[in-house]
Amino acid sequence: MTDPPDPAELVGREPDERLLADELGALPAAVGRPETAPPSRARRRVVGAGAALTGVSLVVGVLLVLLGIVDAVSGGFEADWVVVVGALLIATHWGWVHVAEITANAIEGHANAEVLDRRRQWLAEIEPYTRVEVSTGVEEDGSISIVSVRYTPVPRGERAFTFRREVVDREVHSADAPAASVTERAEHLRREAAVATERERERYEIAAQAYREALIGRVDAEQRTLARRAASEALSRQINSNLREPPLAE
């Protein structure tokens, strides 16, 4: 298991919008899932038209090239132009697919503007602290697996963050094992995961509060650096305080 990240490196960052699409599986289950935008009928029609135009452009282009070659052999004067036009259609026929995709995205974005806005607001509320989750599954032979997964926030670029998903533990219990013992073990691991998650949330909140107080509404790079330093100092003080006066055991 890798060490948890320094919260001071993550405060002030926003969730990467790719977490709403390609990287949706990297989100912890505990944060839920965003609202799904309804499919657009117009999108299917536009994409279908783009595919049709792609095929027509390719067929017409091939026919023009062949016609130009035949015309050139017979001594025609327009053969060069016909071949050029045909070759241009062949070379650019895939462009209709891209045009259709861009147009369809624009139509869909306009039709689902409110849903997309709610999805972005939902994403913005996710805080960058580590979550540990435990789930169970059934193997092909009937045995039961208990899997612990850690979702670690990692910086991306200058202002964003995403999550790195990693399986940190996997136990397999025989199908003959007593159900009560398997259930007890799973619940024990879930309690440990909840304690670990809460500890990381508290560490992040300490850093985030210090960051907000130091930033004072300014957004330039130098102020963000100073604010993150203040967050690290606040977290360090909290850690040192616990070392001097250890908290009660769970």
User: Looking at residue 197, what is its pLDDT?
Assistant: 95
- pLDDT single digits (tens) 107-151: 666 656 788 888 899 999 999 999 999 999 988 888 999 999 999
- Has residue 13 got a pLDDT over 70? yes
Provide the percentage of residues in the chain whose pLDDT is more than 70: 69
For range 78-101, the mean pLDDT: 70
> 190-249 pLDDT, tens per residue?
999 999 999 999 989 988 888 777 665 555 556 666 666 666 777 677 766 765 555 544
- Mean pLDDT calculated for residue range 61-87: 69
Q: How far apart are CA 14 and CA 127, in angstroms?
A: 8
pLDDT (0 to 100) of residue 190: 95
Of 6-15, 60-69, 73-82, give the lowest mean pLDDT range: 73-82
Q: Report d(CA 210, CA 207) in Å as an integer.
A: 5
Question: Which percentage of the chain shows pLDDT scores above 90?
Answer: 32
Please report the pLDDT score of residue 74 as a whole number: 67
pLDDT given at position 250: 45
